[in-house]
Chains A and B, each alone.
Chain A
Amino acid sequence: MTGYLIKNGRVVDPANRIDEVLDILISDGKIEKVGKSLSNGGCKAIDASGKIVGPGLVDMHTHLREPGREDKETVASGTRAAVKGGFTSVACMPNTEPEALDNEGIIKRLSGIIKKDALANVFVVGAITMGRAGKKLADFKALKKAGAIGISDDGSSVDDEKLMSEALALAKKEGLLVIGHCEDRSISDSGVINYGLISTKMGLRGIPVEAEYKRVERDIELARKAKAAIHIAHVSCKESVDIIRKARKAGVEVSAETAPHYFSLTEDCCVTYDTNLKMNPPLRTKEDAEAIKKALKDGTIDAIATDHAPHTDSEKDVEFDFAPFGILGLETALGLAVTELVEKKVLSWSELFMRMSASPARLLGIDRGDLKNGKAADIVIIDPGKEYTYTKDSIASRSKNSPFIGWKLKGKVSHVFVAGKLIDEVLADR
Chain B
Amino acid sequence: MSKHFVWTKKDLLGLEYLSREEIEFILYTAASFKEVTTRQIKKVPALRGKTVVNLFYEPSTRTRTSFELAAKRLSADVINIAVEASSVKKGETLIDTGRNIEALKIDIIVVRHGSSGAPNILAHHVNSSVVNAGDGWHEHPTQALLDMFTLKEKLGRIEGLNVSIIGDIAHSRVARSNIWGLTKLGAKVTVCAPPLLIPEGIEKMGVRVTNDLDTALKGADAINVLRMQFERDAALAFPSKLEYFKQYGITAERLKKCKKEIVVMHPGPINRGIEISSEVADGQNSVILEQVTNGIAVRMAALYLVAHARPTGTRGGEKPL
Chain A interface (Cβ < 8 Å from any Cβ of B): 195-204, 206, 269, 271-274, 277, 314, 317-322, 403
Q: What residue of chain B has the Cβ atom nearest to residue A195's Cβ?
A: B200
Which candidate, B46-54, B100-108, B134-142, B248-256, is the interface stretch facing chain A? B134-142
Would B200 and A200 count as touching, CB distance under 8 A?
yes
Which residues of chain B in 109-123 are interfacial with respect to chain A, using CB atoms and an 8 Å cutoff?
113, 115-118, 120-121
B188 CB, min distance to chain A CBs, angstroms? 20
Q: In the bound complex, how far is the Cα of B52 from the Cα of A97, in angstroms?
A: 43
Chain B interface (Cβ < 8 Å from any Cβ of A): 16, 88-89, 93-95, 113, 115-118, 120-121, 124, 135-139, 173, 176, 199-202, 204-205, 317-321
B213 CB, min distance to chain A CBs, angstroms? 22
A202 CB, min distance to chain B CBs, angstroms? 6
A3 CB, min distance to chain B CBs, angstroms? 44
Of B89, B95, B176, B320, most buried by chain A (CB within 10 Å of CB) is B320
Would A272 and B205 count as touching, CB distance under 8 A?
no
Would A196 and B200 count as touching, CB distance under 8 A?
yes
Q: In the bound complex, how far is the Cα of B117 from the Cα of A269, in angstroms?
A: 14
Instruction: Contacts A203-B176, A204-B137 known; list 5 others, CB within 8 Å.
Output: A197-B201, A200-B201, A202-B116, A272-B318, A317-B95
Could you list 7 examples of A-B contacts with CB < 8 Å? A200-B202, A203-B139, A271-B318, A274-B321, A319-B88, A319-B113, A319-B118
With beta carbons under 8 angstroms apart, the residue of B93, B116, B321 that contacts A321 is B116
Would A322 and B89 count as touching, CB distance under 8 A?
yes
Would A272 and B319 count as touching, CB distance under 8 A?
yes
Q: What residue of chain B has the Cβ atom nearest to residue A276's Cβ?
A: B321
Would A204 and B116 count as touching, CB distance under 8 A?
yes
Would A272 and B320 count as touching, CB distance under 8 A?
yes
Would A277 and B321 count as touching, CB distance under 8 A?
yes
B17 CB, min distance to chain A CBs, angstroms? 10
Would B200 and A197 count as touching, CB distance under 8 A?
yes
Q: In the bound complex, how far is the Cα of B93 from the Cα of A314, in angstroms?
A: 9
With beta carbons under 8 angstroms apart, the residue of A198, A203, A274 that contacts B136 is A203
Q: What 3 pairs across the A-B complex have the smallest Cβ distances?
A: A197-B201, A203-B138, A203-B137
B92 CB, min distance to chain A CBs, angstroms? 11
Q: In the bound complex, how far is the Cα of B16 from the Cα of A235, in angstroms?
A: 32
Q: In the bound complex, how far is the Cα of B89 from the Cα of A272, in angstroms?
A: 21
B12 CB, min distance to chain A CBs, angstroms? 16
Would A204 and B202 count as touching, CB distance under 8 A?
no
Q: What residue of chain A has the Cβ atom nearest to residue B320's Cβ?
A: A272
- CB neighbours of A203 from chain B (8 A): 116-117, 135-139, 173, 176
Would A403 and B117 count as touching, CB distance under 8 A?
no
Would A201 and B118 count as touching, CB distance under 8 A?
no
Would B321 and A199 count as touching, CB distance under 8 A?
no
A159 CB, min distance to chain B CBs, angstroms? 21
Would A317 and B117 count as touching, CB distance under 8 A?
no
Q: What residue of chain B has the Cβ atom nearest to residue A274's Cβ?
A: B320
Known: A195-B200, A196-B200, A274-B320. A202 touches B138 (CB 8 A): yes
- CB neighbours of A318 from chain B (8 A): 93-95, 121
Q: In the bound complex, how far is the Cα of B116 from the Cα of A176, in angstroms?
A: 43
- CB neighbours of A199 from chain B (8 A): 199-200
Q: In the bound complex, how far is the Cα of B126 from the Cα of A19, in angstroms?
A: 53
A205 CB, min distance to chain B CBs, angstroms? 9
- CB neighbours of A314 from chain B (8 A): 93
- CB neighbours of B176 from chain A (8 A): 201, 203
